Amino acid sequence: MLERIESPHDLRGLTADELTELSQEIRDYLVASVSQTGGHLGPNLGVVELTIGLHRVFDSPRDTIVFDTGHQSYVHKLLTGRRDFSGLRTREGLAGYPQRSESDHDVVENSHASTALSWAAGIGRGRTLRGDKDRTTVAVIGDGALTGGMAWEALNSLAAAQDRVVIVVNDNGRSYAPTIGGLARRLDGIRTDPRYEQFLGWGKRTFENRGPWRSFTYRTVMHGKRALKGLITEPGMFDDLGIKYVGPVDGHDLEQVEAALTHARDYGAPVIVHVLTEKGRGYTPAEEDVADRFHAVGKIHPETGLPVKPSRFGWTKVFAEEMVEVAREREDVVALTAAMLAPVGLQPMANEFPDRVIDVGIAEQHAVTSAAGLAFTGYHPVVAVYATFLNRAFDQVLMDVALHGAGVTFMLDRAGITGDDGPSHNGMWDMALLRHVPGLRIAAPRDAPTMRRAFREAVDVSDAPTVVRYPKGPVGDDLPALRTSGDIEVLAEHGDSPQVVVFGLGSMAPTAIDAAEKIAANGVDVVAATANWVHPVPAGLLDILGSAKLVVTVEDGLSDAGMGEEWAAYARLAGNDARWLHRGVPREFLQHASRPQVIEQVGLDASAIADDAIAALD
């Protein structure tokens, strides 16, 4: 069946039995393919019938379908003619998120959550202004993404419009972990209502439009004429906004899904369709997993779901262990995260100190400002998020934390080049942004011991924000300093009168050591050095430069706006006349590839850096 689907139009003539067969084939294909490449497995297994229904009811790309976050778009890719998943998330292969260059059916590439409703509001209004009143805009958003404030800003705006927008709430009760907060409790109340459970077990479902319309309701046709009114006619959290509501709908019953989507489409104004799905549906290891390990997987054995190659001791685990140790020593230390308790390493602390770990949902802005409030009451908050997601809360870091001199520590996981998740997930912007925040300090540890040290030093700062950034993946070997000069640590020395100093910041410290060795092989005296705290400019910088003719900085942030630029400006003002080369990430969006491939692509490998240094000396 799957081989017959070249475009969504091929779905239209299929029978119910054929659609059931297609759904199973898609699940089998996802398990078989993603287990070989890695990727987001659980979310896609949960939206098979929903995605089929979307493409049978709406005419994509004439009707615009926007996926919030986008990691649940694999089924969408399959139904729009992209069946080769062998290179998923690798260079020249399919992206792990929607990508405009792949298909006209893909619209929004950003994989940051809670944005789809704003996209839909803008697209829907644009269609109205152009007179395209027969085209529908569909936003598919999870219950986890609804915890983000931007989604509710968009709902507020949509409620005042009459544009053709259908909002599909894909409610599986989870983001990375169970969805938290008042919204989650409200949706869970609907999900577990005994009337709904009873209703799902009864005959064929259709819908009726009760007029004047307050909301869609179910009608169950039983024994000919007898009908049962649906569970929800006045769903307060949506109806009070003035947005019409359909649901809840069994997201794995294609007949229900299509009926609900059809009515919503035909209404011609904003409608919410509440769809209940099961993450990991149809794959036993995912269905039985309570830790949500199958949200995103590496290469796994498809039969068991176990990793093909166990992951090495990682940076996140170093933080997780040190966080628990510090929490045991200091009762004033609390932790916050934005719907990523396990991915950022806070689960062990939550297990031991549940009252001191706060998961705010996908709401980075709220997390940061509430951390400022906690600091005001005498606590030291530790906000742990992916580096790319702190971009969303820059104003709060600046105006709520820094302006008020709040002692808040930010632990930025996945900083620098992450690679296979593509441009939206590379944590390459943080240093360029954060170095402009008054009073803020940034640490970029190079190994496990300096990571532990930086974290403890950060939480000792009570009157300003501190940042510790670290990369994705395993921790390398320890890199002890040969000697120090102020806050500068020398990692390797070749010769007594260095003409070249190579600084490797954070995860790029091993690269600096390798580059220095290659430079020395050309008969040039050279030093490789680093600093644990990279902003403000570390003490001892001028001393370590000495009479060197060339200084090379290597960082996994922006090359033209990062720490290298800041250090060079400081040295020039102090009268140092060495030439500086800054090697980092170019100011562009890097497409998905492995981290080593991206490193080579942007010239951050040791050989390229050594060649540049020798050429500059010549």
364 is in an annotated binding site: yes
**Average pLDDT value for the chain:** 85
Query: For residue 204, is pLDDT > 80?
Result: no
Which has the closest alpha carbon to 166: 99, 264, 93?
Answer: 264
Amino acid at 545: L
Q: Which residue has the higher pLDDT, 425 or 262?
A: 262
606 is in an annotated binding site: no
Q: Name the band, by pLDDT with cuts 50, 70 and 90, for residue 193.
A: low
The answer for 282, left when phi > 0, alpha when psi is -120 to 50, beta otherwise, is: left
Q: Which residue has the higher pLDDT, 243 or 401?
A: 401
> Which CATH code is given to the segment(s) 315-469?
3.40.50.970
Whether this prediction's pTM lies above 0.75 is answered by yes
516 is in an annotated binding site: no
Burial pattern 325-349, b for ≥16 Cβ within 10 A else e, equals: ebbeeeebbbbbbbbbbbbbbbbbb
CATH architecture of the domain covering 483-617: 3-Layer(aba) Sandwich (3.40)
Q: Name the band, by pLDDT with cuts 50, 70 and 90, for residue 190.
A: low
Burial pattern 498-522, b for ≥16 Cβ within 10 A else e, equals: bbbbbbbbbbbbbbbbbbbbbbbee
Quick one: tokens of 87?
Answer: 């290179």
Count of residues for the chain? 618
176 is in an annotated binding site: no
CB 170 within 8 A of CB 141: yes
Beta strands in 277-398 (DSSP E): 333-337, 357-359, 380-386
Catalytic residue ranges:
279, 364, 392
pLDDT attached to residue 287: 74
Q: Which fold has domain 48-279?
A: Rossmann fold (3.40.50)
Query: For residue 229, is pLDDT > 60?
Result: no
Least confident of 59-63, 137-141, 154-158, 537-541: 154-158
144 is in an annotated binding site: yes
**What is the per-residue pLDDT across 95-144, written as a single tens digit (0 to 9) for each?**
877 888 888 998 888 777 888 898 899 999 999 999 998 999 999 998 77
pLDDT attached to residue 72: 85
Q: Name the band, by pLDDT with cuts 50, 70 and 90, for residue 615.
A: very high
283 is in an annotated binding site: yes
The reply to whether domains 48-279 and 315-469 share a CATH topology is yes
280 is in an annotated binding site: no
111 is in an annotated binding site: yes
145 is in an annotated binding site: yes
**What is the per-residue pLDDT across 255-308, written as a single tens digit (0 to 9) for each?**
999 999 999 999 889 999 989 988 878 777 777 765 567 777 777 777 777 776
Domain assignments of the chain as residue spans, ordered by start: 48-279, 315-469, 483-617
Rounded CA separation 360/184 (Å): 12
